[in-house]
Structure 1
Amino acid sequence: MPLLFLNEKSWNTTCDPARAERAMADFVDAVRAVAKEDPSGTSLVSEREVKSLEISDGYPIGKWIGSSPRNHARWQRLLALQNRSPVRSVFPTDDADDHLEYRHDGETALGLGAAHFMDGIAVSLPVAHPWQTVSVALDRSELVELDDGSMELAHDSVDVRHISTPPHVDEHRTWIRRSSLARAATGRQIWDLRADLYPHLQFLSGAEAQLTDLDPRWIVPVRRCLERLEASTAAWNPATSAEPQWQTKVTPEGETRKRVCRFEDFDGEWRTFHLHARFTPGAGRIHFRLVGAEGAIRIAHIGGKVRPDL
């Protein structure tokens, strides 16, 4: 179910009423074009109520809605998509332990950043030149954990999928169709679809509750991490290599930490699952062990950093 995230930076810019009318028509048509490609339904997520926005300086969207029956009809189509998703932020912006921030042209870009973090598409009002493109470059800062357990603020550049007019949808059509068929949007869906999505990954029974109760901020990061572990394991030949060539960062626990990474395996034996991949925000972990005889990895823990029992 592709998520569209409203780029709040593209609104309330200066343009004449005729340009604002054309921009709104393109915007609504682009959103509807995505919805047509996604049979499971498309959601438009915004930080503020769309009806409270100004298309351009001094031209509120309410005035646009009431200016013609055609605009009112367009608004009803847009409103139907927005109602499927709450107006909310989808990732932390002010918690020092979960620091994650996206900027565009030096300014915080919540909607654009949310689209990247949630593996969705950013959608803009096509008035200014920066929004006439199928992808937008962002500067990202993220608090990451180093191998020694310390935290460091890392900076990099990322590209987010982007649309503002119907032709932009053509560039993302294949991805939209593929994601609408295979996407797991909740932890419960990840568990239910695990055999189809991750045939080389085995999950201990405890992972079911961990996925079902997964923090919503972690759905996409966990899904991405599992996808990379699956791709790594699918290409693995245990006869020629002791472990896969990992497509995500995988590290072992130190000797002291190994003691807290023991889990009851399928056969009732307690084994050490100290290899782990990481995901953010925060200290997310997927703990597993290699099962070379089956060309698989067996996952015991999905969640925060494993803590010793008190």
Structure 2
Amino acid sequence: MPLPLPGLATDRVLGIQGPTAEQFAVAIDPLPDDVPVMVGCDLPCEVIEARADPVAVVEVLLSVLEDVARAQLQAWLPAADTMTGTSDLERRTIRRLARETASEQPHFGPFLADLAEAALMGRPVAARWDPETRAGSLAGLLRSCYHRNAVVLVLRTARPLGAHAQRAVGTAAQWLADRGQVGVWVLGVGVVEPDRFPIVALPVPAGLDVLARDHVPAVPAVSFPVLAGRPHPGSAVEVNFEAALARCHWARGRTWNHTYQQHPLAPPMRVDLMWPHELVVVELDGPDHRGALKYADDRRRDNALTLAGYAVLRFTNDEVVDDLSLVLAMIERVLTARRHDERNPG
């Protein structure tokens, strides 16, 4: 049973109670077609409590959205795929490409040009834009990039905030919903003031209730949906692994972050890397896979794929980084065996 998210408001602040952060993260991966772009954000408790200022919280949240937009540069500006340098010529070129993209879509050209240049240079956007312009431009870009109707920030904290910090987060969240075209869903308690916003109680999906309620969430500090067909730009391991595979002639036919569903009643699953013709799946596990729920869900997925005839190889990020040649050799061996069996049936 999936989370009943499609009916939730995306233009206001809502409190979400029921699933833990880890249960919520697993339940929305892959992101269902009829829900908004959801960007998960662990608020930096020390920073928020030191300032307890709504303006500072808005800056933190806008920086998260900007980080996601910069990471997805090649999705909303495909021509950037070929640009790897930071020369003056490349900076002028990427700004021109961004302005051309903005002229064809309802985006603000000057901000998009600044954002593209910032992504190329690996730095934040210049501080000349007011929060409302930044919020509206980033929300519009992410909606377009993901082909969704709304953007929602899912806020959570590693521990409850103090009263002043909760008030600041609540005020910042209200501003984003009212002026920034970004909905805010608050996961759990201790993030914003009690009773300030409507509370929605969600059931924990079947199969995800194995996690203890007091378990420390094993989810990234900032998380955002991946786009099918390419490595997740937020994962340096995936990006670098794809660069290595691109140099291997045997790696042809691969697809990244493909959603697989065995039959209409089975829960869909997103696999990191797949060779659909050879029925081979490769999973790359980051630190979030060490959590109890992720571990159990990985075993369920592996079993379902194996029963469907797939060969499943699972590597940790550390294995990929520390011994890339061995990982590549193992994948090549499985693919070669599958292709040989196809050519020589029986």
TM-score normalized by the length of structure 2: 0.29
Higher helix share: 2
Higher strand share: 1
Higher relative contact order (CA 8 A, sep 6+): 2
